Every structure is written in C-alpha cells, then in structure tokens.
Amino acid sequence: MRSSRAVLLPGTASDEVFISSVFARPLAEAGLALVAPASRGVREHFEALDAAWDGTPLVVGGVSLGAHVAAAWAVRHPERCAGVLVALPAWNGAADGAPAASAARASASVVESAGVETALTGVDGWLGDELRRAWPRYGARLADVLREAAGSSAPTVAELGRLTAPVGVAACTDDPVHPLEVARTWVGALPRAALRTTTLAALGADRESLGRAALDAYFSVSVPV
C-alpha cells in the first residue's frame, strides 16, 4: 500500500509553521498530505514519528535537525519508511565542530545571558524574521532545545548506507551553516538518493523552492507515491 502522507519535522528551534510554508503546496501537488507535528527537540521529534505511523509506510523528513531525526528513524524502522525528504542536512554522525552545532551552542549562551533579541542581533532579512517569530514560541525551553540539537547525532555514513528507501536531498549552495559538501556526503552514502540545489536568496523569496528541490530529487529516484 502506497503512502499518502509525509511527516516532516522542523530544524533546531524552528517550527511547523516554517515546515508548512516550505512543503505543504509542493507535497499537495505531488499527491501527498503534509503532517507537520508541533514537536520541539530531538526526543519529541522521534515520538512524533512513532505516533504518526499507523501501519502504512510513511514518507518522512524535515529540515536540518528534523532531517537528521527522520533519517535516523528510517534507519531504525525500514519497514515503516516509504521514502525520505532531506532538506539542509548539517552534519554526519557526531556534530563535533559543525557550523550549525557551534551556532546553536553560541545562541543558547546568549539567549540565557541576554535574551532572544540580543541573540538575533545581526540576523536580518527573511531568516531573522523567521527566527523572531519561531524562537519566542519555545519560551524558557529555547536554550535547552538549542543545546540538545547541538549535542545530537545525525546518521553516520555507514548508517546511511543501510537506508534503502528513496531519498531526496536539497541543499543551498550558499549556506555556510548547512554546507553543500555535507549534502553531497549524504547522497554519496545513500543507496538510492539524488541531490537538488537552490540558494538562500531563492528560499527567502519563495519558501517552497526548498520543498520543490527536495521533491524533485526524491521523484528522480522513486516512482510517485
């Protein structure tokens, strides 16, 4: 039985509103219904995926941290996964000195010492608008969520090699926090995967550009679900 739902998770301290803006319309045009859990953090993301599974294999995925969690869940539960949509992967295995992890730790410290607005000083444009909207929704948990994400593990190259479901990977060529080389490493390790790219400027002008890139990559290695 083919999947008709895609369960997609947000990145670190992002939220389901951003996920919907990126994926809802592209998924609908592909015949998939978006499920965007309002989960916060690594543990809740795994719980949301477990709760969404109803016996029919799911398309799962997300942005950054959400993509890491979804891919790890798919590795653990291959019988539950019809495919994976990976947008902006940030690292493989342990975070170590990955730019996204370092940025999350630094932001957590400033949030605790000086507050959200100070932590976002210099973060302008569409990204600043998104973070100023989403971060207050985390309340007192924000710093803890940022640190949890920074200390979390993504699937290793060896684990990705065991993920046989089709995977669409999308990356921005000009994103230093989610380096294009990481996305290429994911695709090189995955048995059935393709990469499509966009830019941060395009994402700022059209959130759906990232979702379309991930779906285009996915359908290039998979029959329509």
Are residue 16 and residue 67 in the same domain, yes or no? yes
pLDDT above 70 (res 79):
yes
User: How are strands ordered across the β-sheet holding 167-172?
Assistant: 33-35, 5-9, 58-63, 81-87, 167-172, 193-198
Over residues 157-211, the pLDDT tens digits come to 999 999 999 999 999 999 999 999 999 999 999 999 999 999 999 999 999 999 9
Residue 155 · residue 73 · CB < 8 Å: no
Identify whether 225 is part of a domain. Answer: no
Are residue 178 and residue 213 in the same domain, yes or no? yes
Are residue 167 and residue 209 in the same domain, yes or no? yes
Section 107-133 average pLDDT: 96
Under the banding of pLDDT at 50, 70 and 90, the label for residue 137 is: very high
Residue 19 · residue 66 · CB < 8 Å: yes
Under the banding of pLDDT at 50, 70 and 90, the label for residue 3 is: low
Boundaries of domain holding 104: 99-148
Are residue 164 and residue 205 in the same domain, yes or no? yes
Residue 194 · residue 187 · CB < 8 Å: yes
Are residue 167 and residue 126 in the same domain, yes or no? no
Asked whether the whole model's pTM tops 0.85, one would answer yes
Total structural domains within the chain: 2
Are residue 75 and residue 179 in the same domain, yes or no? yes
- Residue from 24, 30, 42, 23 nearest 3 by CA: 30
Are residue 117 and residue 206 in the same domain, yes or no? no
pLDDT above 70 (res 1):
no
Nearest-angstrom CA–CA distance, 60 and 83: 6
**CATH number for 176:** 3.40.50.1820
Q: For 71, which DSSP code? A: H
Whole-number mean pLDDT of the chain? 96
Identify whether 108 is part of a domain. Answer: yes
Nearest-angstrom CA–CA distance, 214 and 219: 9
Identify whether 203 is part of a domain. Answer: yes
Nearest-angstrom CA–CA distance, 195 and 210: 12
